[in-house]
């Protein structure tokens, strides 16, 4: 065996043979080290992060219920880094040096290739961009990845300018969250939530090599991470939702081949829609059986123990639990079942409990929706057709059902979180002189009025409601400590009290057709002093006819009350017809808005 030794070293001194490595061009040496450091830092970041904490850093404005909902729908999946190896051997060596698997397969990157080509005015065919996803594990053993985009930059390729610019600005670095059980409604809700908290749509695409759709956002200005972009990744082809995210008609998006008849993906998608009723009833059954309360007391309980506690048939309960686990309502571990953040909201005593909504949607409203065809054909509410009377009269004749309905209205309390800070209320609270009065018209048990009075101790309140609701309202407002500053008036919409400073109509107008809305608004306008303000809380239909939570509630209102959701322009016309003028509107949670009106 012969060695090449320096002439100054004795020939008898043994020297280890270095492993053969690709010889990088001199100009790439420092940059290759930079890429290795960036890979190592990204891998360490992915290993350390908790999904909930990371989401709260990405979107600092998230409140508790929204954060829980996002955490249950999304899981932190990877962080991405773009590197520029001269060849594949160098890339594999860098991965190994960072403790990452170097034998992972590489797939072509369609999305990043197109973005780089557009930014640098290159032909996409000239850019060899690939994706590698070596696996790492999170703090609780979660399976995650470092998403490595690798643009091969051979020494003589002329691509060094791209590499220098991209390393400096790091525009492809991003955080990614996988969407659990993606469907169009879930995706649209998640995209709207990110946008509501300041994230800005920043591209995306469908990758046919993986059958996955990515939705990119620019991180909010107040984000608390170093990553400039955020990705939501949904398995499957969601180009219809992607086109909305990109703000263009689907026809302008990537060409989508026609699906052949009998396409199994289309059949599966339709089947998931058709079985939506099963989901509603499974959630309602979970609430009726008081499973969340029992599981809260017995974390990790097995089927037999749970069946005894809720008086259920064990094998049947096991089937229900498996389905609830598929929905993400419970999770199964080695020791039994536990509640997720979603499932916890079905417990009666949980903050923001949605148990009453589950019982309403799985009970009287479920029955009425079976007659939706009647509504579409006749224009009459299915509820009236099935029960023989409108839902307000029906609930009034059943005190338990009426109480459940009032409780279900409280379940949407996250809508109200930002409302007490509305400028109209803030101005009223700081106005000089006598205390200003807020009149809540048909305000239920006083959930909203209590929040307003608690936030503004200088304000007084008047609650106008049906006599049978006022007892519960007194208890509700008394518990907030604001009851002493509130008066209670029994009556209906014809009895709006005069001399208030701010009038509130929260989720009232959508119960009624336009004629009834005009009657309600005229009563308000006649009672309001000249300088009073009216705040209307409703979901707004998108002006462009796009999908939203309001679109779903529009169907619900049509079927159950004969009412409807409306666009902002529609409300403006109703206000104008009644001597009022729309001043503006501001967004709230869950697709709602506050519309501000004054006397014209």
Cα 572 from Cα 463, distance rounded (Å): 25
Handedness of CA 153, 158, 163, 166 (dihedral sign): negative
Largest CA distance in the chain: 109
Angle between helices 467-480 and 447-455 (to 10 degrees): 30
Handedness of CA 451, 456, 457, 461 (dihedral sign): negative
Is the CB of residue 173 less than 8 Å from the CB of residue 227?
Answer: yes
Cα 258 from Cα 152, distance rounded (Å): 35
Cα 55 from Cα 59, distance rounded (Å): 6
Helix (H, G, I), strand (E, B), or coil: what is residue 171?
A: coil
Q: Find all residues with CB under 8 Å of 593, minimum gap 6, and list them.
A: 537, 538, 539, 540, 568, 585, 586, 587
- For residue 423, give the nearest of 235, 596, 216 by alpha carbon: 596
**Angle (CA) 69 75 77, round 5°:** 160
Token pair for residue 403?
């109480």
DSSP string computed for 212-244: EEEEEEEPPTT-SSS-SEEEEEEES--HHHHHH
**Angle (CA) 180 224 352, round 5°:** 50
Catalytic residues: 510
DSSP string computed for 33-57: HHHHHHHHHHHHHHHH--HHHHHHH
- For residue 237, give the nearest of 261, 257, 217, 218 by alpha carbon: 257
Residue 185's CB is within 10 A of a number of other CB atoms, namely 15
DSSP structural state of residue 145 = E
Is the CB of residue 154 less than 8 Å from the CB of residue 142?
Answer: no
Is the CB of residue 22 less than 8 Å from the CB of residue 89?
Answer: yes
Is the CB of residue 415 less than 8 Å from the CB of residue 591?
Answer: no
Cα 187 from Cα 189, distance rounded (Å): 5
């Amino acid at each position: 065996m012969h060695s090449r030794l320096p002439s100054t070293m004795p020939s008898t001194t043994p020297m280890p043979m270095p492993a053969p490595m690709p010889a990088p061009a001199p100009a790439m040496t420092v940059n290759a080290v930079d890429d290795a450091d960036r890979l190592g830092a990204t891998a360490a970041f992915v290993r350390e992060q908790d999904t909930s904490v990371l989401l709260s850093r990405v979107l600092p404005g998230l409140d508790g219920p929204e954060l829980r909902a996002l955490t249950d729908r999304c899981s932190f999946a990877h962080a991405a880094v773009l590197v520029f190896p001269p060849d594949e051997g160098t890339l594999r060596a860098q991965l190994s040096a960072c403790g990452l698997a170097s034998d992972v397969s590489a797939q072509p990157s369609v999305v990043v290739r197109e973005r780089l080509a557009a930014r640098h005015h290159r032909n996409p065919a000239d850019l060899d961009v690939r994706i590698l996803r070596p696996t790492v594990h999170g703090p609780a053993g979660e399976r995650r990845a470092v998403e490595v985009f690798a643009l091969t930059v051979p020494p003589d390729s002329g691509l060094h300018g791209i590499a220098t610019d991209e390393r400096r600005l790091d525009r492809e670095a991003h955080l990614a969250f996988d969407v659990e059980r993606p469907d169009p409604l879930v995706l649209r809700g998640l995209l709207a939530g990110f946008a509501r908290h300041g994230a800005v749509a920043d591209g995306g695409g469908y990758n046919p090599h993986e059958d996955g759709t990515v939705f990119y956002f620019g991180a909010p200005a107040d984000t608390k991470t170093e990553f400039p972009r955020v990705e939501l990744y949904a398995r499957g082809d969601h180009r219809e939702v992607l086109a909305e995210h990109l703000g263009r008609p689907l026809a302008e998006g990537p060409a989508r081949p026609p699906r052949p008849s009998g396409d199994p993906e289309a059949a599966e998608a339709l089947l998931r829609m058709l079985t939506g009723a099963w989901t509603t009833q499974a959630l309602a059954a979970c609430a009726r059986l008081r499973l969340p309360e029992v599981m809260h007391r017995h974390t990790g309980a097995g089927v037999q123990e749970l069946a005894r506690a809720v008086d259920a048939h064990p094998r049947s309960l096991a089937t229900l639990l498996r389905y609830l686990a598929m929905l993400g309502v419970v999770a199964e571990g080695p020791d039994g079942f536990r509640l997720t953040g979603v499932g916890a909201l079905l417990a009666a005593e949980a903050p923001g409990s949605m148990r009453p909504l589950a019982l309403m949607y799985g009970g009287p409203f479920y029955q009425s929706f079976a007659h939706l065809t009647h509504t579409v054909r006749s224009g009459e509410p299915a509820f009236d057709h099935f029960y023989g009377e409108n839902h307000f009269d029906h609930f009034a004749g059943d005190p338990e059902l009426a109480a459940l309905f009032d409780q279900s209205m409280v379940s949407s309390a996250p809508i109200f979180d930002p409302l007490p800070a509305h400028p109209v209320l803030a101005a009223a609270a700081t106005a000089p002189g006598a205390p200003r009065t807020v009149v809540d018209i048909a305000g239920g048990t006083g959930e909203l009025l209590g929040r307003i009075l608690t936030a503004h101790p200088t304000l007084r309140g008047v609650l106008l409601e049906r006599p049978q609701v006022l007892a519960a309202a007194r208890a509700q407002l008394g518990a907030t400590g604001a009851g002493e500053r509130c008066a209670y008036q029994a009556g209906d919409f014809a009895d709006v009290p005069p001399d208030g400073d701010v009038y509130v109509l929260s989720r009232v107008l959508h119960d009624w057709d336009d004629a009834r809305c005009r009657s309600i608004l005229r009563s308000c306008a006649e009672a309001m002093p000249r300088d009073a303000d009216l705040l209307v809380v409703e979901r707004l239909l998108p002006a462009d006819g796009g999908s939203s939570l309001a679109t779903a509630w529009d169907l619900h209102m049509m079927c159950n009350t004969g009412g409807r959701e409306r666009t902002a322009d529609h409300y403006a016309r109703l206000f104008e017809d009644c001597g009022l003028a729309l001043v503006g509107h501001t967004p709230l949670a869950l697709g709602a808005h506050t519309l501000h009106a004054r006397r014209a």
